[in-house]
Amino acid sequence: MIKFVLIAVAILLLLPLLRRKEKPADDSSAKKKSLPPKEKAPSADAPKKAFDALMRTVVVLDGNEWSACTVDGVKEDWARFTSEPTRGFEAVPAGRHRVVTEIDGRAATLDFVLFPGETLARKLDRDAAKWIDADAKAPAESLVSYRSTMGIARAMSGKLASPEAAFEAARTALEKLVDENDGDAIAEARAVGESLIGVALVAEQLDAFVALAKRAPDVVDAALPGIARRAS
């Protein structure tokens, strides 16, 4: 009787071990190893960095005749947007821009391309009616917010367009002109550039134009003044 009890106890003790051996091996670790690596998620602070770069993109125009100034096709009473005498713009989107100031019956025209986070400083030479390089800084109180002011102006005029569509159309046209690069390429590139004035671009899009400028600097520079020097 005692032997029988001992044998029964032994069987009860061994039974869980036998069941554990019969259980199929967990292949979860193997599955984990076979899974493709996850794509790296975009940085959570990317929008903040883009916004910070926008707010740092500034245009200072010393000596400008603001009452006779048109910026990217918009004419405003710019002085009403600043608490100090107006000296320029802040929060300017990257891309192609144009400033035209009427001075003594002549037009002083400034065409330029801005990259995110850049500052452009120019001074109006009134005698020559032209813009010259300057090394100037301006307090925030003297800067017009391009981002809000021009957005409202364009919404009211109905001139809102897709920046992506404008970029793709311009890039396609410039690629064709770069490939052909014939006698009409410069004039046609200037016309392409007109379509980009005031269009908000991002750094990657501007880099695409820089890459094109490496192949035909004169052609692409006619569309985006000053971009060829970035390709050298």
**Domain spans in the chain, listed from the N-terminal domain onward:** 46-157, 163-231
For 168-184, the pLDDT digits (tens) are 999 999 999 999 999 99
d(CA 61, CA 138): 9
Give the 3-state secondary structure of residue 69: strand
For 76-106, the pLDDT digits (tens) are 999 999 999 999 999 999 999 999 999 999 9
Cα-based distances in Å from 170 to 36, 80, 158, 188, 224: 38, 35, 21, 11, 11
Question: Residue 142's closest CA among 83, 55, 101?
Answer: 83
d(CA 97, CA 198): 5
Confidence (pTM): 0.78
CB 178 within 8 A of CB 212: yes
Region of residue 65 (phi > 0: left; psi between -120 and 50: alpha; otherwise: beta)? beta
